[in-house]
Chains A and B, each alone.
Chain A
């Protein structure tokens, strides 16, 4: 039966119950949970008044997992059973992780059938979804204690550049932790939400998110309570860690110059560098002291050390502006997210580029979680539905493999989601009854450089000549950014469909590098694509001539046959070694060389047709 709520006397609607919904920032280093408490949304502290939960999990035999500060304390003593930065492993296959140079101190479970990475711990084999779920469970526990009751829904944030596999695994982890996922929300969008509602602004907002290891920038437009993400971009290997690294190298160089003391360990240098960086947030200079050695690090030196990194962040801003077709003057607000935006040098550079002081009122570590909490409150129904709406975009292009290992983009990046797009394809060979579809994600032109998302087949296509069948491939991306693909043969209505789930064990470049890759390789791609296309054209011509020779070879004189064979050989040789121009030329030559043969065949077939035989019959 339907569930009843207590009404006001006389049937008046009682004040609706406040439903418990939270926002979760599931971070690489730290995670946070937020909920509406009284007038606004706040992050929830643990019993020790700590808001940040270190995203570290420790497993031991026969005990529930330890999450947070206690687990972090065991990182050095028990590295095999203590897992940090699991977010970096999401959506990856075991082989991809192993191919990466980064040293991971874990023992992976080789016995897993699906190729998904799982770590062997004292408490058994734990995959990345399980580990993420354990972090989420700790946050849920904290929230339920604080809100005095079971949670009814959660909004979980993900980086804007997260691909389909990473989003899907984040959602799976939340479901494993017993959460009802109201929405996966892009982190920069969440940050803008946190500011947008407080200040009730209209206009264009840039979200500048410089974390420990990644940099994200997004451009949103806010109008009449509707957020629209106009463009996103960034640099997945740029963050505060790089700044620490640059300072550490400078310290090492100073030490070597003075030769007074030995250079300490890398870890020690990093620690000193990090401390110096924090000092310089408030002071113009700081002294670095190691035993008898002392060096003065001034803001001007730090500026030089970080100039290149800061320049790269500004270049990303420029690019996002261009993607959205806006100029610097069109930007009304800049929101700062991530601990590294506390650095005055970063703030100054951003202020200089945009000609405006960026917003820093909300703690840059908490702003994403707060935005997620606000969105959760709206989605669960605590806030009036008119209050605001978020329109998000897909961060990476989605496409399908076509002949010659080329990618045909179906949904370009920065398209507002949800989105549905369809494109028609056709068969490549005569009598082809099966079409295999390979769905990929990424910006590059060649399949091998993009992320493979899924493969499936459309069967029972009626046998027709090449190019006659019409197959419509439809892509649908939902509001969480998750993709489903269907293919339909239009004459028969035969359909095949797939919900894209993470696929493992496929050779592909590492996802974080993909966005950057696509740009630096644009030039090479163009030529690679041209070669592929030329090869394809050549193959089709060679196939056609080979078929024709089989059927009507007797039409040629010996000399004619020899000369044609020579041109064929020339094209075959050029195809494997030449550039696109040479292949085109050789193809054209063969075309010319075979034109007499083609004319003879045509004459013969027309003559046959006139005699009452169908061309089809002759072809057989």
Chain B
């Protein structure tokens, strides 16, 4: 079981953590919402919850709760630019369909 992160994404995470000034790492997870069922969660982590799994990749701590882990195991996190927009992108081998907006996915 693992989650991977590209070096660009890792650099951006590190930079934003440094900018923020505090935090252990980032939480990657899923929550139920949206048109096709589930949406990604991406947030800073100040405090660990019971059962959290911690992955250390490229010097960045990625924290995933056990329920989410089932859905996003094997996911690759990248940082990309589309025109004037930039942000994080997930490549999930488990996802079968995405809604138009791309914020939700189904398995």
Does A11 reach chain B (CB closer than 8 Å)?
yes
Segment at the interface with B among A1-9, A406-414, A490-498: A1-9
Known contacts A1-B89, A153-B84: A9-B45 contact under CB 8 Å: yes
User: Whose C-beta in chain A lies nearest to the C-beta of B102?
Assistant: A1
Is A152 an interface residue, CB under 8 A from the partner?
yes
Main secondary structure of the interface of B (DSSP, over half): strand
> Total number of A-B contacts with CB less than 8 angstroms?
61
> In the bound complex, what is the Cα–Cα distance between A2 and B80 (angstroms)?
11
CB distance from B57 to the nearest CB of A (A): 15
In chain B between 1 and 45, which residues have their CB closer than 8 angstroms to a CB of chain A? 13, 16, 20, 26-27, 40-45
> A585 to chain B: which residues have CB within 8 Å?
none
In the complex formed, the residue of B with least CB distance to A152 is: B84
Residues of A in contact, count (CB < 8 Å): 19
Kindly identify, within residues 321 to 379 of chain A, every residue whose CB is under 8 Å from any CB belonging to chain B: none
Which residues of chain B come closer than 8 Å to A4, judged between CB atoms? 40, 42, 87-90, 103
- Find out whether the CB atom of A8 lies under 8 angstroms from the CB atom of B44: yes
Say yes or no: is B46 at the interface (Cβ < 8 Å to chain A).
yes
A180: CB under 8 A from chain B?
A: yes
A524 to B52, CA, bound (A): 86
User: At the interface, yes or no: B96 with Cβ under 8 Å from chain A?
Assistant: no
A11 CA to B87 CA in the complex, in Å? 17
CB of B98 within 8 Å of the partner chain: yes
Q: Which residues of chain A are within 8 angstroms of B44 by Cβ–Cβ distance?
A: 6-9, 14
Interface string of A124-152 (1 = CB under 8 A from B): 00000000000000000000000000101
Tell me if A6 and B80 are in contact (CB < 8 A).
no
Known: A9-B45, A11-B43. A3 touches B86 (CB 8 A): yes
The reply to whether B90 and A1 form a contact with Cβ atoms under 8 Å apart is yes
Question: What is the CB-to-nearest-CB distance from B26 to chain A, in angstroms, rounded to a whole number?
Answer: 6
> Which A residues touch B47, using CB under 8 A?
9
Kindly state whether residue B101 has any CB partner on chain A within 8 Å.
Answer: yes
Check B89–A3 contact: CB distance below 8 A. yes
Q: In angstroms, how far is the closest chain A Cβ from the Cβ of B67?
A: 17
Q: What is the CB-to-nearest-CB distance from B78 to chain A, in angstroms, rounded to a whole number?
A: 10
Q: Which of B49-107 contact A (CB under 8 A)?
A: 80-90, 98, 101-103
Contacts of B81 in A (CB 8 A): 150
1-43 of chain A: CB within 8 A of chain B: 1-11, 14-15, 17
Known A2-B101, A4-B40: A9·B90 in contact at CB below 8 Å: no
* Chain B residues positioned under 8 Å from A15 (CB to CB): 20
> How far is it, in angstroms, between the C-alpha of A5 and the C-alpha of B103 when the chains are bound?
12
Annotate A146-164 by CB proximity to B: 1 below 8 A, 0 otherwise.
0000101100000000000
Contact: B27 with A5, CB < 8 Å? no
Contact assessment for A7 and B42 in the assembled complex, using a CB-CB cutoff below 8 Å: yes
By CB atoms of chain A within 10 A, which of B43, B80, B88 has the most? Answer: B43
**Chain B proximity of A147: nearest CB distance (Å):** 13
Which residues of A366-415 are within 8 A (CB) of B? Answer: 380
Cross-chain contact A5 with B102 (CB below 8 angstroms): no
**Would B13 and A6 count as touching, CB distance under 8 A?**
yes
Residue from B45, B46, B82, B88 within 8 A of A5 (CB atoms): B88
User: B87 — which chain A residues lie within 8 A by C-beta?
Assistant: 2-5
A121 CA / B67 CA spacing, docked (Å): 66
Q: Which of A3, A10, A152, A180 has the most CB of B within 10 A?
A: A3
11 A-B pairs with CB atoms under 8 Å apart are A1-B103, A3-B80, A3-B87, A4-B89, A5-B88, A6-B44, A8-B43, A9-B45, A11-B41, A152-B86, A180-B83
Known contacts A2-B101, A4-B88, A14-B44; 19 further A-B pairs (Cβ under 8 A): A1-B90, A1-B98, A2-B103, A3-B80, A3-B86, A4-B40, A4-B42, A4-B90, A6-B13, A6-B16, A6-B43, A7-B42, A10-B43, A11-B41, A11-B43, A17-B16, A152-B84, A180-B84, A380-B84
Q: Which 6 A-B pairs have the closest CB atoms?
A: A3-B87, A1-B102, A2-B102, A7-B43, A4-B88, A4-B42
